[in-house]
Amino acid sequence: MDLRMDHVLSEEHQALKEAVHDFTQEVVAPVSAAHDADHSFPYEVIAQMGEMGLFGLPFPEEHGGQGGDYFALCLALEELAKVDQSVAITLEAGVSLGAMPIHRFGTEAQKQRWLPELTSGRRLAGFGLTESEAGSDAGGTRTRAVLDGDEWVIDGTKEFITNSGTTITSLVTVTAVTGEQQLPDGRTKKEISTILVPTDTPGFTAEPAYDKVGWNASDTHPLTLSGVRVPQENLLGERGRGYANFLGILDEGRIAIAALATGAAQGCVDEAARYAKERETFGAAIGTNQAISFKIARMQARAHSARLAYYDAAARMLEGRPFKTEAAIAKLIAGEAAMDNARDATQVFGGYGFINESVVARHYRDSKILEIGEGTTEVQLMLIARSLGLDA
């Protein structure tokens, strides 16, 4: 197996990384605490990210993109997440869950209609997979779509859907049971398809936003679909392949989430190291205390390991090699690094780390979801175990 990787960024990637870093310091950081406290969506920040071309990074120019690659998106996510995970997840979900399914599986007509506004950041899209009894278990999907003439009629509910209720959200792609499929052994299973649902369609309702522990400036809603009618041509991809296609989207998305989590882990390192040099007790900076300096050193080791893991997974994906297991490993390592570093950074800050307006306090609240969303830690362990031939 060829494990060669070039960890030296190209000039283009390095320039992007530096540009996003400057943007986070000049635009994102000054308003992050206020948006978090108010639970308000940062429309002005998202608009500027759109103008920078961040939402179009991995898409071709003919559909309004920047003609870059998925690794470029990951680098942007890492920089954003150092300062504000809510802003980072808005970009990640807008690209990997909103626009990417249309890019991967849509017809040319669907791409022409939806992608230009999504890749520009003028509009957002969400992906409606999770339900109260379905997520990792697609068999629990209860939302149904029935063909009535040349229209799909959709009824059901969705849970925890990111970017689904903003004033710039244009559509949500939903998974729905569209029939039954016959298995070789004679049994049947649910036929699950994906359908594009514009948010202004009668019967589509974004219910009141969740009161979350973290990611307070990110938009997340439960959805209700009651007699929603959309054209038959709004079917995304092949009928019955909706969940299977989305699993591929999730594999890619796990790399992006790992990049975001790496940024969160590194942000905690940066804040803790800065504070340890400034904060004095008993006449000396607390960073001179070995207990503190070793704690921060271990934090840096976690962030570094997480970065190597997502770089590896991204390299494999871009080279067309299998990357499912490596994506799961990256997501596992990075998610745990973010949570562990947030805890340790809060300890370094002491009482100040318990004040919500501090960056480390936000990371402490925000990072837990990185062990849950887009595949729990347990799901990642299951995937890794299966790759080793273990019955998980």
Active-site hit among 131, 271, 371, 374: 374
**Best CA proximity match to 359, nearest among 38, 33, 45, 88:** 33
Backbone angles phi, psi at 60, to 5 degrees: -70, 155
Q: Does 374 participate in catalysis according to the annotation?
A: yes
Q: What's the 3-state SS for the chain?
A: CCCCCCCCCCHHHHHHHHHHHHHHHHHHHHHHHHHHHHCCCCHHHHHHHHHHCHHHCCCCHHHCCCCCCHHHHHHHHHHHHHHCHHHHHHHHHHHHHHHHHHHHHCCHHHHHHHHHHHHHCCCEEEEECCECCECCCHHHCCCEEEEECCEEEEEEEEEEEECCCCCCEEEEEEEEEEEEEECCCCCEEEEEEEEEEECCCCCEEECCCCCCCCCCCCCEEEEEEEEEEEEHHHEECCCCCHHHHHHHHHHHHHHHHHHHHHHHHHHHHHHHHHHHHHCEECCEEHHHCHHHHHHHHHHHHHHHHHHHHHHHHHHHHHCCCCCHHHHHHHHHHHHHHHHHHHHHHHHHHHHHHHCCCCHHHHHHHHHHHHHCCCCCHHHHHHHHHHHCCCCC
Q: Give the residues across from 192 on adjacent strands.
A: 177
Q: Which residues have C-beta within 8 Å of that of residue 189, sequence separation ≥ 6?
A: 139, 180, 181, 183
How far is residue 9's CA from residue 367's CA, in Å, rounded to a whole number?
Answer: 27
User: Which residues does the annotation mark as catalytic?
Assistant: 374
